[in-house]
């Protein structure tokens, strides 16, 4: 009978509850088993299979403890060449032992491979819920087999999935002087060297803080993080936050840890507690980047507006929301227009990309390109954008110029710069230097007559002459020379 154990729910994060265990894919009539039989089944293998209900079976735990303690004496012997024996009496590392281990671990995947049959699903919680898992027996429950250092994570948790690679001889140093009596200082020293430590005996707040302070003083990031994980699980949140507020180094580590593991909610709670409101706002705002759907992103941004940003940033976030809102409308509209095939501009210049999530200036360019003639009333008109987002003249003129030049709409370009003064005469003015205008026109292959006209308007004489020669505006050159003479 092949049983695949699969955890429902998202991959577990430290401290979070994992989903319920569900037996899936039982072959051969397993589907009809009664629930009570499932319990029996789970407990029937030679080696204790992994379940969440481990802690209910205290008797078996005790038995294991006894067995483990007895075998401990053998292992802690000074004789290096000792043999280790598993629960079933086989010498560890022997072939028969590894076969047995392999067979019994069929409830998990064989050979030390944790069940990861479904991509991304974890098969066990990072940390167990029960409190009594740090007895000596926990070390022998299908521990990861190592030649040397234990993982620090093993120091904390252990009733994770069992792995049954043939055990290599564990160096005696790992178990030397094992006692349950270490001070915080000794515990930290041991953890630094990667040795096994049980943290559960630190029950009082004072002891726990002593442990943390000791870790901080030795500057070992891994140890600090390990202890923080322990504290996070065993302390009330408010107390933890309070204590960390005055412990900057440990606080930093916790923040880093929460960020890395993606525990966004707890991270934001911590920041709020510390009154780092702007950081809360920015951190929440950052999340919008992972929302792909435009409508959902818009909703999210709407919610961000009232967050405690600095006053300048608040305006920008508001603008971001407004812009996306407009873009969604424009996009929907234009897609319609394009599909209908009636609009000339869309026929001649089919859109290469969606306008969603583009920056404001790009949107303005788009609007000057496709919707130039629209009045201020529509969302897609350039003048509406200018007004709504308070786009400065300089930026507006530049963008409009670029768009109209690309379309070779020279009359529109003219109109941009023409103003009637009080006498009724038209005059050309630009909030940007005319040399820039010439540059942009030239880049869009404007005909010489058009170029010429603007070269003539360049204020600086030398630049004017240079540009005239560069772009072969002979009339201007001639005029220049004539004027000089």
- For 40-150, list the strands marked E by DSSP: none
Q: Among 398, 413, 441, 450, indicate the residue that binds another protein (CB under 8 A).
A: 398
Q: Which of residues 9-28 bind another protein (CB under 8 A)?
A: 11-14
User: What is the C-alpha to C-alpha distance for residues 291 and 191, in angstroms, rounded to an integer?
Assistant: 40
User: What is the C-alpha to C-alpha distance for residues 41 and 207, in angstroms, rounded to an integer?
Assistant: 42
Q: Residue 343 or residue 354: which is nearer to another protein going by CB?
A: 354
Q: Residue 192 or residue 475: which is nearer to another protein going by CB?
A: 192
Choose one: 154-162, 415-423, 461-469, 477-485; the region binding another protein (CB under 8 A): 154-162
**Contact partners, residue 183, CB within 8 Å, separation at least 6:** none
Interface mask toward another protein for 211-250; x: CB under 8 A = --------x-xx--xx--x------------------xx-
Q: Is 252 in the site for another protein (CB under 8 A)?
A: yes
Choose one: 283-291, 332-340, 413-421, 451-459; the region binding another protein (CB under 8 A): 283-291
Q: Among 389, 444, 463, 469, indicate the residue that binds another protein (CB under 8 A).
A: 389
For residue 52, give both structure tokens. 């969440």
**Contact partners, residue 38, CB within 8 Å, separation at least 6:** 23
Q: Residue 250 or residue 446: which is nearer to another protein going by CB?
A: 250
Q: Where are the alpha helices (DSSP H) in 341-429?
A: 344-348, 360-370, 382-389, 393-406, 410-417
Least distance to another protein, CB of residue 364, Å: 9
Q: Is 307 in the site for another protein (CB under 8 A)?
A: no
Give the CA radius of gyration of the chain: 36
DSSP state of 5: E
Least distance to another protein, CB of residue 140, Å: 15
Q: Which of residues 157-176 bind another protein (CB under 8 A)?
A: 160-163, 165, 168
Instruction: Kindly tell me the sign of the dihedral angle through the C-alpha atoms of 262, 207, 52, 146.
Output: positive
Task: Please answer whether residues 381 and 374 qualify as being in contact, where contact means their C-beta atoms are separated by less than 8 angstroms.
Answer: yes
Q: Is 438 in the site for another protein (CB under 8 A)?
A: no
Indicate the SS3 state at residue 135: coil
Choose one: 53-61, 201-209, 255-263, 336-344; the region binding another protein (CB under 8 A): 255-263
**Cα 106 to the chain's mean position, in Å?**
35
Interface mask toward another protein for 84-123; x: CB under 8 A = ---------------------------xxxxxx--x--xx
Q: Residue 71 or residue 153: which is nearer to another protein going by CB?
A: 153
User: What is the C-alpha to C-alpha distance for residues 292 and 162, in angstroms, rounded to an integer?
Assistant: 38
Q: Residue 35 or residue 390: which is nearer to another protein going by CB?
A: 390
Q: Is 257 in the site for another protein (CB under 8 A)?
A: yes
Q: Is 261 in the site for another protein (CB under 8 A)?
A: yes
Q: Among 88, 132, 180, 354, indicate the residue that binds another protein (CB under 8 A).
A: 354
For residue 153, give both structure tokens. 């994570």
Instruction: Find the helix or strand (DSSP H, E) in which 300 lies.
Output: helix 294-304
Q: Is 361 in the site for another protein (CB under 8 A)?
A: yes
For residue 476, give both structure tokens. 């201007």
Choose one: 63-71, 356-364, 376-384, 476-484; the region binding another protein (CB under 8 A): 356-364
Q: Among 316, 387, 427, 472, indicate the residue that binds another protein (CB under 8 A).
A: 316
Instruction: Find the helix or strand (DSSP H, E) in which 24 lies.
Output: strand 21-24
Instruction: Find the helix or strand (DSSP H, E) in which 478 lies.
Output: helix 474-484
């Amino acid at each position: 009978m092949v049983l695949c154990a699969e955890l429902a729910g998202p991959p577990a994060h430290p401290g979070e509850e994992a989903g319920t265990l569900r037996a899936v894919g039982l072959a051969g009539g397993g589907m009809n088993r009664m629930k009570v039989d499932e319990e029996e089944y789970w407990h029937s293998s030679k080696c204790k299979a992994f379940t969440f209900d481990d802690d209910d079976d205290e008797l078996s735990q005790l038995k294991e403890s006894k067995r483990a303690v007895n075998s401990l004496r053998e292992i802690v012997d000074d004789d290096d060449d000792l043999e280790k024996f598993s629960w079933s009496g086989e010498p560890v590392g022997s072939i028969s032992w590894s076969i047995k281990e392999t067979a019994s671990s069929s409830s998990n995947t064989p050979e030390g491979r944790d069940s990861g049959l479904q991509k991304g699903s974890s098969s066990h919680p990072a940390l167990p819920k029960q409190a009594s898992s740090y007895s000596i027996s926990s070390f022998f429950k299908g521990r990861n087999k190592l030649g040397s250092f234990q993982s620090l994570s093993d120091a904390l948790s252990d009733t994770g999935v069992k792995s049954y690679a043939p055990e290599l001889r564990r160096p005696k140093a790992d178990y030397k002087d094992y006692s349950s009596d270490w001070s915080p200082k000794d515990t930290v020293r041991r953890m630094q060297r990667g040795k096994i430590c049980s943290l559960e005996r630190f029950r009082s707040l004072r002891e726990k803080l002593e442990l943390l302070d000791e870790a901080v003083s030795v500057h070992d990031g891994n140890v600090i993080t390990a202890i923080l994980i322990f504290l996070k699980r065993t302390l009330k949140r408010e107390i933890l936050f309070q204590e960390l507020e005055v412990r900057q180094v440990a606080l930093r580590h916790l923040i880093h840890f929460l960020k890395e593991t993606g525990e966004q909610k707890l991270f934001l709670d911590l920041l709020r507690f510390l009154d780092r409101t702007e950081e809360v706002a920015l951190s929440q705002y950052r999340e919008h980047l992972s929302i792909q759907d435009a409508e959902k992103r818009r909703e999210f941004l709407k919610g961000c507006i009232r967050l405690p940003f600095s006053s300048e940033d608040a305006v920008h976030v508001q603008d971001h929301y407004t812009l996306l809102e407009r873009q969604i409308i424009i996009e929907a509209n234009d897609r319609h227009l394009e599909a209908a095939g009636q609009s000339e501009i869309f026929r001649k210049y089919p859109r290469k990309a969606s306008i969603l999530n583009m920056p404001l200036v790009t949107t303005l360019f788009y609007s000057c390109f496709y919707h130039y003639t629209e009045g201020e009333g529509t969302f897609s008109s350039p003048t509406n954008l200018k007004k709504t987002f308070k786009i400065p003249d300089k930026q507006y003129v530049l963008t409009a110029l670029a768009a109209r030049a690309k379309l070779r709409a020279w009359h529109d370009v003219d109109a941009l710069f023409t103003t009637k003064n009080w006498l009724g005469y038209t005059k050309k003015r630009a909030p940007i230097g005319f040399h820039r205008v010439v540059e942009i026109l030239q880049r869009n292959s404007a005909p010489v007559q058009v170029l010429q006209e603007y070269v003539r308007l360049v204020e600086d004489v030398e630049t004017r002459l240079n540009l005239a020669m560069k772009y072969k505006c002979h009339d201007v050159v001639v005029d220049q020379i004539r004027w000089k003479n």
